[in-house]
């Protein structure tokens, strides 16, 4: 894998936590002759000034060879969406609670340092996405799309269909559509199925269904999925935890599985099952 000479950097909203690792990153960039590119918000957040030989502003003119993230899954998802459908891999150091998508933990930087990331000494995992058609155009979610009743509003009535056939209509607090990467998030909290990375298709699970018969479903990757609002109130729609729009009563939204959208860096030998045991086993101990 080629050496990255231009690297973009994204961090979460707590700059003090990442400050030591950011200094380590800048030192590694100097020794590796790598330029680190920060957008204006990142420069202000960390009090950095472009033009000191390592730090540059904005996207590299010739394109980035790598994106390094210092943050949790939310920041990592933002980077994966930013570089969706490109050749830029995302190498993430976990500064969140779970960090299921992270490449390494901060304590591992001594062994698996940034020099290794610059040299491309990692494997790339191609992640799928959910493409959602809205009035504002196509939107992309790496983990999940959630439909939730309004805060303080009535219970929602959501129906979903596959290939034009209605599968079910359930009174509930909401519904989640997820990829395999997102199946260990909101979907898992709903009791939905955990889908190993590499499994294609979309998982569908309900949030607090008012039914004894509502069941989760995995939709085949080539099948079009629709979600309809059959209730009397609007329903909030979020992509990867970010509110994006609402669907009004009587309206529906269409979602499609899209393979090979984002590139996630991972250390050799870190299978999905090892990651699952490490992340969730640690949380339950």
Residues of the chain with CATH 3.40.50.10330: 6-122+267-284
pTM of the model: 0.91
Judged by DSSP in three states, 130 sits in strand
Class of domain 129-259: mainly beta
Catalytic (active site) residue 73:
yes
β-sheet bridge partners, residue 56: 37
Could you identify the residue written with the tokens 């150091």?
93
Please provide the size of the chain in residues. Answer: 285
Q: Bridge-partner residues for 104, per DSSP?
A: 93
- What tokens appear for 54 in the block? 């390592």
pLDDT score at 2: 61
What's the rounded mean pLDDT across residues 246-261? Answer: 95
pLDDT of residue 240: 96
> Catalytic residue among 33, 40, 52, 73, which?
73
Band (285; pLDDT cuts 50, 70, 90)? very low
Q: What percent of the chain has pLDDT over 90?
A: 74
What stretch(es) of the chain map to CATH 2.60.200.30?
Answer: 129-259
The CATH number of 6-122+267-284 is which of 3.30.1380.10, 3.40.50.300, 3.30.360.10, 3.40.50.10330?
3.40.50.10330
Sign of torsion over alpha carbons 48, 49, 50, 53: negative
200-218 pLDDT per residue, tens = 999 999 999 998 888 899 9
Tens digit of each residue's pLDDT (9 = 90 or more) over 101-116: 999 999 888 877 899 9
Helix (H) or strand (E) holding 67: strand 66-71
**Distance, CA of 235 to CA of 164 (rounded, Å):** 21
């Amino acid at each position: 894998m080629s050496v990255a000479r231009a690297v973009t950097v994204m961090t979460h909203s707590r700059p003090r936590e990442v400050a030591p690792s950011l200094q380590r990153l800048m030192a590694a960039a100097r020794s590796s002759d790598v330029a680190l590119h920060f957008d204006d918000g990142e420069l202000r957040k960390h009090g950095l000034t472009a033009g000191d030989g390592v730090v540059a502003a904005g996207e590299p003119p010739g394109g980035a060879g790598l994106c390094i993230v210092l943050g949790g899954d939310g920041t990592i998802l933002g980077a994966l969406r930013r570089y969706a459908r490109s050749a830029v891999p995302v190498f993430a150091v976990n500064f969140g609670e779970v960090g299921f998508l992270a490449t390494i933990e901060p304590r591992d930087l001594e062994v698996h340092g940034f020099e290794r990331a610059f040299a491309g000494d990692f494997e790339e995992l191609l992640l799928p996405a959910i493409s959602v058609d809205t009035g504002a155009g196509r939107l992309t979610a790496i983990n999940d799309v959630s439909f939730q009743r309004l805060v303080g509003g009535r219970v929602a009535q959501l129906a979903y269909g596959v290939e034009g056939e209605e599968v079910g209509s359930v009174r509930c607090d909401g519904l989640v559509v997820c990829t395999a990467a997102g199946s260990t998030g909101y979907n898992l909290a709903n009791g939905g199925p955990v889908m190993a990375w590499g499994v294609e298709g979309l998982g569908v699970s309900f949030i607090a269904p008012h039914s004894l018969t509502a069941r989760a479903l995995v939709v085949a990757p080539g099948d079009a999925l629709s979600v309809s609002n059959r209730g009397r109130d609007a329903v909030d729609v979020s992509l990867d935890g970010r509110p994006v729009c609402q669907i009004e009563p009587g309206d529906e939204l269409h979602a499609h599985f899209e393979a090979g959208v984002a590139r996630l860096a991972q250390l050799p030998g870190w299978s999905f099952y090892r990651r699952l045991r490490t992340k969730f086993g640690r949380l339950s101990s």
